[in-house]
Amino acid sequence: MTVAKDVAPPSVVAEPAEELTVVPARHPWRWVATAVVAVLLAMAVNALVTNPAWDWPTVGQFLFAPSILRSVALTLQLTVLGIVVGFVLGTVLAVMRMSPNPLLRSVSWTYIWIFRSVPLILQLLFWYNLALLYRTIGFGIPFGPTFVEIGTMDLVSPVTAAVLGLALHQAAYAAEVVRAGFLAVDPGQLEAAAALGIPKLRQFRRIQLPQAMRTIIPTAGNELIGLVKGTSVVYIMALSELFYQVQVIYTRNGRVIPLLLVAAIWYLALTTVMSIAQFYVERHYARGAQRALPPTPLQRLRATLRRDAS
């Protein structure tokens, strides 16, 4: 030990600790990287603003044109119906897939197999041409008498065909998303609920679902954003959703780029709103999962302002 004592350097902290100031390390390369990125950013903005081919005045002219707004509404309608019907059906399929009944299990498996394997565009065309397969659709007793018979063309309008196509395709994916969510819940949770005698439906709603949602929401958000853009495929059915509408306008006036920009800006706006909504939904279901909830952007801003003020 005496040797160690000799080798030990003399203590730096000779004076009381509070008189010492901490100087953060310098990071020169951070400044270089910042400068490089700033220049590249300026170049990009310059290229967007100064090149007249982008034709920003035309973009401004059409961005809020009534026909564009109507098409945005249709895109939104297709998305909402597609995701809602898709996830309701998907949840049913997920429950079937996890059921002890082998027929339900294999029906669910087969559905997912087919609807995930055939391209969406093909599925949409099938629904669009349903009348070629079945001229009329009847309602009655299975294999028995039919009470009402309706022409397929009257029952399945192009919008219905589009919603049907998007929702049935979405359901196959949603089923797996929902199933993954339920598999992620600790089996001990259900066991505890069963031991407490909590009724089955209540177990599902109060114990299983809120915990499954933590896993479901991020993937479901992906699916939702995918579907917003996926609705553009519907243009092949000549439905005037956003993508079809801008094509109609630019074939008339020849201003391709600015109209594609209009569509891009709207898709961006829609997905932004959805991403913000997702943040708050995720936060809601994070209760109890983390020791403290992450702050909302607003709370973060307020905290920064308070820190700067003091």
Partner 1 sequence: MSATMVELRGVHKRFGALEVLRGIDLTVRTGEVTVLLGPSGSGKSTLLRAINHLEKVDKGFVLVDGELMGYRRSGNRLHELSERHILHQRTHIGFVFQSFNLFPHLTVLENVVEAPVSAQGRDRAEATAHARELLNRVGLSDKAEEYPRRLSGGQQQRVAIARALALRPKLVLFDEPTSALDPELVGEVLDVMRDLARAGTTMVVVTHEIGFAREAADTVVFLDAGRIVEQGPPAQVLDSPREERTRAFLGAVRH
Q: Is 100 a residue that touches partner 1 (CB under 8 A)?
A: no
DSSP string, 198-260: --HHHIIIIIIHHHHHHHHHHHHHHHHHHHHHHGGGGGGGT--SHHHHHHHHHHHH--HHHHH
DSSP string, 59-118: HHHHHT-HHHHHHHHHHHHHHHHHHHHHHHHHHHHHHHHTSS-HHHHHHHHHHHHHHHHS
Q: Is 302 a residue that touches partner 1 (CB under 8 A)?
A: no
CB of 197 to partner 1, least distance (A): 4
Q: Is 195 a residue that touches partner 1 (CB under 8 A)?
A: yes
Point out which span in 26-34, 124-132, 135-143, 188-196 binds partner 1 (CB under 8 A).
Answer: 188-196
Interface of this chain with partner 1, residues 261 to 300, rule: CB under 8 A: 285, 287-291
Q: Is 202 a residue that touches partner 1 (CB under 8 A)?
A: yes
In total, the chain counts a number of residues equal to 310
Alpha carbon distance 168, 81 (integer Å): 11
Q: Please select the residue that binds partner 1; options are 116, 135, 206, 302, rule is CB under 8 A.
A: 206
Point out which span in 109-117, 129-137, 173-181, 183-191 binds partner 1 (CB under 8 A).
Answer: 183-191
Q: Toward partner 1, which CB reaches closer, 12 or 289?
A: 289
User: How many residues bind partner 1, per CB under 8 A?
Assistant: 24
Q: Is 99 a residue that touches partner 1 (CB under 8 A)?
A: no
Q: Is 215 a residue that touches partner 1 (CB under 8 A)?
A: no
Alpha carbon distance 297, 307 (integer Å): 15
Q: Please select the residue that binds partner 1; options are 72, 207, 228, 261, rule is CB under 8 A.
A: 207
Q: Please select the residue that binds partner 1; options are 15, 18, 186, 308, rule is CB under 8 A.
A: 186
Q: Is 95 a residue that touches partner 1 (CB under 8 A)?
A: no
Task: Kindly give, in sequence order, each residue whose CB lies less than 8 Å from that of residue 155, ignoring residues fewer than 6 positions away.
Answer: 137
Q: Of 88, 279, 77, whose CA–CA distance to 174 is shortest?
A: 88
CB of 286 to partner 1, least distance (A): 9
Q: Toward partner 1, which CB reaches closer, 165 or 181?
A: 181
Q: Is 32 a residue that touches partner 1 (CB under 8 A)?
A: no
CB of 80 to partner 1, least distance (A): 27
Q: Toward partner 1, which CB reaches closer, 44 or 194?
A: 194
Alpha carbon distance 215, 282 (integer Å): 9
Alpha carbon distance 93, 114 (integer Å): 13
Phi first, then psi, for residue 27 (nearest 5°) are -125, 80
The number of beta carbons lying within 10 Å of the beta carbon of residue 234 is: 29
The number of beta carbons lying within 10 Å of the beta carbon of residue 121 is: 13
Looking at residue 19, its amino acid is E
Q: Toward partner 1, which CB reaches closer, 72 or 193?
A: 193
Q: Please select the residue that binds partner 1; options are 200, 252, 306, 307, rule is CB under 8 A.
A: 200
Contact residues: partner 1, CB under 8 A: 186, 188-189, 191-200, 202, 206-207, 210-211, 285, 287-291
